[in-house]
Chains A and B, each alone.
Chain A
């Protein structure tokens, strides 16, 4: 469970988020949604402990993440920042291998190689493992980044818009895999993901946190938060939540 207690975050002395207070359940997929500039990426950095709070605190599985040692923090939370990442020319295997860095600090063991193999398999990258990142398509590269966060094998995966630049097939593919990873059970991950695609949020999220102008609007189970009224008010535009073939969909109306 992530407990966010009266959290205020600043960048360059400017408050970006103020007084956020909520909890995020330990398993399941949580979507962070809200208009541009609402503070979603900033909140994600705060949850990862990379941005020390100006006030309040974030407890990740009971530990104050901002004051944890960097090595400790990286074993609890994996953060995939927004694209475009400035990444060196690495092979897919090397990139995912760096996801294991918090575990081996430069001396990989068999266990680390196994995790890399598993991440390659889960994200269907085995055939591309020796390819250089800059020779891949946008979708393949994005999968490699998510696989790197997966290999970090942390209880929490935080992803900032991992679907940008992806066509529907790859976007869906990644969401399916993340959804599966977050199902309760042994080895389940808590996945927190900033999404702009409300359709994806409606389809895959268990829990939804909405932000607007640096404040928390709502936080709760997806059916309670993603309603026609709430979404239309949040984005200040006509949006309808409906059902199609038994699945929730969001439509501009």
Chain B
């Protein structure tokens, strides 16, 4: 029922997204070309990125048993950027899939690093883990030690503009032929559906999952592998997006619980809808100029996040 309502909203947003932009009807450009080269790819990119980020958030929250984390708080995008920078420096001519694979691997290593760190963080206060994650991301990111090195190399190699585009997620640069990597997210979503029960089991804690016969390590690697590839694909094509992975799984969890298999379509739909809404908002606020969707999401998401932890601080950490 409500799933139907969200689907309807999503369709309306898609319609809006296809209509709104600097080139209005009769603006001189062939509107058919605008549609097929820019508007349709842009809309699809937002949908795919939103769905992928929301699902990644749900997986990470179950994997570390904390509702207040998301891939953006586990160093995942920062690690992906380091990987991208390295491959762009060492083998600038390598095909996109190779760059993507390196970025995914780096993202996975970065996320596993966070997991190692998380083992030493006391669990009593759920707020502690995201704070640790923020610092960890900062260390990996451009502000930190590792990242400063990366930035310095990037500056020397004249790659700073790449870093900028990876860090701030937005869809204005999406054109046909430059977003198709995001379709990988659809495939990863399918894979995630198959692994959904295992990942829910993981959310019960390692002991419990193992006593039910789950190979917990293998499942953790699979889940985080899917997350890393998703984040890498998003960073490469449209840039990092904060908060999507935090807000959407929390909203769905409050409403429908944490059975990942049952809720996976809903998480994906809601993530896609919110991402597209943020992009549309960014297009109309200062029309005909644009505000990056990540900025919109950072502002709106921060508010929603505060509401979430205020509304239920106790449940917040109890994934």
Contacts and interface: CB of A to CB of B under 8 A. Distances in A.
Interface of A: 45, 48, 50, 70-75, 77-81, 85-91, 94, 98-99, 101-102, 106, 132, 134, 152
Given A81-B205, A98-B200, A101-B201, A86 B211 contact: no
Given A50-B207, A81-B207, A101-B201, A86 B319 contact: yes
Nearest to A68: B213
B213 A85 contact: no
26 contacts: A48-B211, A71-B213, A72-B213, A73-B213, A75-B213, A77-B211, A81-B208, A85-B204, A86-B204, A87-B203, A88-B200, A88-B253, A88-B257, A88-B258, A88-B319, A89-B257, A89-B258, A89-B315, A90-B257, A94-B257, A98-B204, A101-B197, A101-B214, A102-B212, A106-B197, A134-B318
Contact of A86 (B194, B205, B214, B262): B205
B215 interface: yes
B259 interface: yes
A87 B211 contact: no
Interface of B: 62, 65, 123, 194, 197-198, 200-201, 203-205, 207-208, 210-215, 253, 257-259, 262, 315, 318-319
Given A70-B210, A73-B213, A101-B213, A86 B65 contact: yes
Given A74-B212, A94-B257, A88 B203 contact: yes
A48 B210 CA distance: 10
A152 B212 contact: yes
Nearest to B206: A50
Interface centre among A73, A75, A89 (most CB of B within 10 A): A89
B246 to A, nearest CB: 16
Contacts of A73: 213
A106 B213 CA distance: 12
A94 B261 CA distance: 11
Contacts of B258: 88-90
A52 to B, nearest CB: 12
Contacts of B194: 106
The 9 closest A-B pairs by CB, nearest first: A74-B213, A88-B258, A79-B211, A102-B213, A89-B257, A88-B203, A86-B65, A89-B258, A71-B213
Contact of B257 (A74, A79, A91, A102): A91
Given A86-B319, A88-B258, A94-B259, A70 B213 contact: yes
A169 to B, nearest CB: 26
Contact of A98 (B62, B212, B262, B315): B212
A74 B210 CA distance: 8
Contacts of B205: 81, 85-87
A55 to B, nearest CB: 22
A7 B246 CA distance: 45
The residue in A74, A81, A88, A106 that gathers the most chain B C-beta atoms within 10 A of its C-beta is A88
A108 B114 CA distance: 35
Given A70-B214, A73-B213, A87 B315 contact: no
Contacts of B208: 81, 85, 87
Given A74-B213, A87-B205, A98-B200, 5 more contacts: A81-B208, A86-B203, A87-B318, A88-B62, A89-B315
A89 B253 contact: yes
Nearest to B213: A74
Contacts of B197: 98, 101, 106
Contacts of B62: 88
A242 to B, nearest CB: 38
A33 to B, nearest CB: 22
B59 to A, nearest CB: 12
Nearest to A91: B257
Counting chain B CB atoms within 10 Å of each CB, the highest count among A71, A75, A86, A101 belongs to A86
Nearest to B199: A88
A47 B198 CA distance: 24
Contacts of B211: 48, 50, 74, 77-81
Contacts of A75: 213
A138 to B, nearest CB: 13
A86 B318 contact: yes
A152 B194 CA distance: 22
B313 to A, nearest CB: 13
A132 B207 contact: no
A51 B99 CA distance: 41
A80 B198 CA distance: 18
Contacts of A50: 207, 210-211
